[in-house]
Amino acid sequence: MRKIAVIYSGHAPHHRTFNEPKYKQYIDRLIYFPEFQDASLEGVDVLFVPSQLNEHLLMNAKAKIHAFANDGGIVLAFGPQPWEWLPNQKWEERETNFWWWLEKDAKSGLVLADPKYDLFNYITLKDATWHQHGVFWPEEGAQKLITTEDGGAVLYVDKVSTKGTWIITTLDPDYHFGSYFMPATERFLDGFLPWLAKGNI
């Protein structure tokens, strides 16, 4: 199994999510974010950057995260990212409709861009569907896995921007599960974390 280190903010949703036993079994270590710059990443295969992190600490950590990727590591980034720290970041903020599912003939607007990708042996599109905050427009050569109908990436894998692998999603299941709402987010994490630990990326 891959060794996964999580950058840990210490706030309540992160505490609940990353200490939940069924998820904690996949986590090798939690690195408290104020201590990240001095923390060793030796032996870590995946650096998990969750949603809802402090903007200033995140920007200060950018060089270290990129260095980890350029050493061949896997970086996972959850949640909308309005700050410029991801490689070749092209983030487009969009209005969030929290109640789309109450509309007549409701459609999430999400599609599987690569349904044969191994992740979808672990989760379904329904497991990745709640609401959207925006999209990314990745570099040519990156692999889009879930997109909006107009092609904006909600989940993609980038193996072209650095020497490592970036798994980037606008989704924020760590926050919603940790906040005790949005049932799909639990299903997402139930499948996504086992895939991250031992699936084909």
**Residue 143, class by beta-carbon neighbours within 10 Å (0-12 exposed, 13-18 middle, 19+ buried)?**
middle
Low-confidence ranges of the chain (pLDDT < 70): 93-108
Q: Which amino acid is at 106?
A: A
pLDDT computed for residue 114 by the predictor: 96
Instruction: Name 169's bridge partners.
Output: 155
Q: What is the DSSP string of 8-51?
A: E--SHHHHHHHHSHHHHTT-SEEEEGGGGGG---TT-SEEEE-S
pLDDT computed for residue 16 by the predictor: 96
d(CA 84, CA 74): 19
pLDDT computed for residue 163 by the predictor: 97
Listed residue (25, 30, 5, 6) closest to 190, CA to CA: 25
DSSP state, 179?
T
Listed residue (158, 161, 172, 137) closest to 201, CA to CA: 158
Q: What is the model's pTM?
A: 0.92
pLDDT computed for residue 182 by the predictor: 79
Structure tokens belonging to residue 93: 């903020």
d(CA 40, CA 122): 31
Structural domains in the chain, CATH included, are 4-198 (3.40.50.880)
pLDDT computed for residue 27 by the predictor: 98
